[in-house]
């Protein structure tokens, strides 16, 4: 029966059968056929032991204790904290949780679910709103200009020609606060 090696120093003197068994156990890969050469086996098993020690260290070990390489099945059942302590119960609660599924990227969402970008070409004043733009601000001047325009309707080109600057930011804020409504063409 092959032995599972837990220490990197023991890798040099181990048999190829023990190295293969250790690699299978630490990587949780029972179908692994085995290494063709001893040199490759020693390097790969050494790295697998370091990886297993790192996983155990991340799971939590008592202060002053070096992590020991454990197989994935041993890690699941291993709670390093004293039974009855808050740390022990928190560790059990966290390991029992299901992993969080990542939110799908925007590019992976179906096109129907994406929010269409609204480009403002024409706006209409509502004579209502949720805010009070400051009296001397450019945003207020844009609002007053639209309210005084014929039919309280104005295009972005007219506004930019009158104010000699880009007014889309002001329009977006006024639309957001319900002072203006975008006219779909």
Q: Which of 60-69, 113-122, 135-144 has the lowest mean pLDDT?
A: 60-69
**Per-range mean pLDDT, top range of 61-65, 86-90, 94-98, 177-181:** 177-181
Give CA–CA dist 153/139, Å, rounded.
16
Residue 149 has a pLDDT of 93
Q: What is the pLDDT of residues 56-68, one digit of tens each?
A: 676 666 666 666 6
Q: Is the pTM of this model over 0.85?
A: no
Residue 171 falls in which region: left (phi positive, over 0), alpha (psi -120 to 50) or beta: alpha
Q: Using alpha carbons, list the distances in angstroms from residue 1 to 7, 14, 17.
A: 18, 13, 9
H-state helical runs in 33-130: 38-59, 72-76, 86-96
* Res 134: pLDDT: 93
């Amino acid at each position: 029966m092959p032995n599972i090696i837990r220490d990197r120093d023991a890798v040099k003197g181990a048999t190829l059968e023990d190295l293969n068994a250790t690699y299978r156990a630490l990587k949780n890969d029972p179908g692994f056929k085995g290494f063709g050469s001893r040199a490759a086996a020693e390097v790969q098993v050494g790295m697998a032991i370091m990886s297993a020690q790192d996983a155990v260290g991340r799971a939590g070990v008592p202060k002053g204790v070096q992590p020991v390489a454990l197989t994935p099945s041993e890690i699941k059942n291993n709670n390093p904290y004293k039974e009855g302590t808050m740390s022990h119960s928190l560790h059990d609660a966290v390991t029992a949780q299901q992993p969080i599924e990542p939110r799908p990227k925007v590019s992976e969402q179906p096109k129907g679910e994406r929010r269409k970008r609204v480009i403002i070409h024409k706006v209409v004043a509502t004579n209502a709103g949720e805010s009070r733009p400051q009296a001397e601000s450019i945003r207020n001047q844009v609002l007053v200009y639209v309210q005084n325009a014929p039919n309280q309707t104005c295009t972005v080109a007219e506004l930019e020609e009158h104010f000699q600057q880009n007014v889309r930011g002001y329009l977006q804020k006024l639309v957001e606060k319900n002072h203006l409504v975008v006219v779909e063409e």
